[in-house]
Amino acid sequence: MKDAHSADRAITTTNPATEKQLDSYPLMSDAEMVSALEACHAAFTDWRHKTHKERGEVLKAIGAGLRARKEEFAALMTREVGKRLEDSRNEIELCAAICDWTAQAGPEILADETREIQDGRKGVITKSPIGVIYGIQPWNFPAYQAVRYAIANLMAGNGVLLKHASNCTGSGLMLRDIFEEAGLPKNLFTVLLIDHDQSDDLIGHKLVRGVTMTGSAGSGSKIAAKAGEHLKKSVMELGSNDAYLVLEDADVELAVKTCVTGRIFNNGETCVNAKRFIVTDKVYDAFIDGYIKAMGDVTLGDPTREDTDLGPMARGDLRDTLHEQVQQSVAKGARIAVGGKIPDGTGYYYPATVLTEVAPGQPAYDEELFGPVASVIRAKDDEDAMRIANDSRFGLGGGIFSKDEDRALELARAHFDTGMVFINHFNLATPEMPFGGVKDSGYGREHGGFGMNEFVNAKAITLPG
């Protein structure tokens, strides 16, 4: 049994803008972890019998609770992970919108379905909740990452466990408090303060019926293997190096502006950020001139200030990894057009950076750069641009800039090997549309009603004709 209160069994959070300690939280012992799981399961046994409408009313109240505490929650997220205060506020609004949409759409999506069977019998398909769903979530969206899977599963009637990233522990606990203040039964959404070894043990526990994770492909592979070992269904939302294509007929001014936003949004630390910019030869010079200037004008600074475009990275080790990827890419032929130097002073800051002459074999081409570094790649023509876009082990999102939206739609539909495509704009996620990827970006879907159906038992019931 581990001692949850020993000095080396605690989580410490740090403000990435000041490098000062924020708080400390004792980790759970194994017994406390199992007790929390059992309490969540007990809450589930009652919640599963609530009607869809009853569950929806609680979700709407959670949305209202998030909006009521938006300023407090946003300030905490900014302190914990360094995201701009405005981005934190927008994240809370997105979470509230997810609650509202799920409450409204859930009853229809989860409703029983009747089918006529060929031999004259009647079939009923009912979507039954399966139990406790365990979520392992990252730090880059402290509220949204948890809300994205939790709200869908609560609507479906499941219980929810959250192992949040340690550096946003306070945000996870605040989310739990908001859920319970809104009327969600105690323990139905439980935050676990545990380490990786305990997490592996938890996946194997008989009361855990499903596992969902957001993170890197490497971590996802390990968690998926552990879930598979115990025959637990899993959903994996993993990283990517999303390509944005600037085709020969693109509006270059729109592409430049959007690709800056797409790269530095959330301090560049988003799985579905625009990361590789594949520009056709015909418009390359106009794009690169405008893009370098615009990225060079990005203001780096205090994330609480309204005039800041880019705040610090969430941790020092993340900044070091990003800078190493930049240096390795340069050593293999890439060129730094702007940025690329760690600034002096306090805080884990990294400037908006543009790499050109990016080619296969460089981290800037092959890997995910999780920070404000853009990889610009020249393509011969539109066909070559699509080939380069798909030349990746990842496939979460991507974008196309073209004045011919019908053609862009066809390219997205028939050729882009990703889970999401944004045409002539950049976006993170919307409640109405599915979110998820292919290849090393994972499997399964969230949002758009798909997340509500990931962890239910589609139970087939037949009756005589």
Q: Which of 271, 367, 368, 446 is catalytic?
A: 271
Indicate which residue of 32, 80, 91, 237 is catalytic. 237
CA distance 401 to 145: 28
What single string gives the DSSP state of each residue in 426-465? -----TTS-B--SGGGEE--BSTTHHHHHTEEEEEEEE--
Long-range CB contacts (within 8 A, 24+) of 375-378: 375/241, 375/275, 375/276, 375/277, 375/329, 375/334, 376/277, 376/279, 376/288, 376/291, 376/337, 377/276, 377/277, 377/278, 377/279, 378/279, 378/281, 378/284
Q: Compute the distance between CA of residue 26 and CA of residue 201 in angstroms, rounded to an integer.
A: 19
> Quick one: tokens of 97?
């919108």
Query: Can you name the residues that pair with 456 across neighbouring β-strands?
Result: 129
Q: Round to whole Å and give the CA distance between 99 and 113.
A: 24
Residue with tokens 């130097």: 341
Could you give the maximum distance between any two Cα atoms of the chain, in Å? 77
Bridge partners, residue 113, by sequence: 125
* Backbone φ and ψ of 132, nearest 5°: -90, 125
CA distances from 36 to 31, 123, 134, 187 (A): 9, 38, 12, 7
Strand partners, 443: 236
- Residue 271 bears catalytic tag: yes
Rounded CA gap, 456 and 449, in Å? 12
432 given a catalytic annotation: no
| C-alpha distances in Å from residue 170, one per residue of 77, 78, 174, 191, 253 | 8, 11, 6, 10, 41
Q: Which residues are catalytic?
A: 237, 271
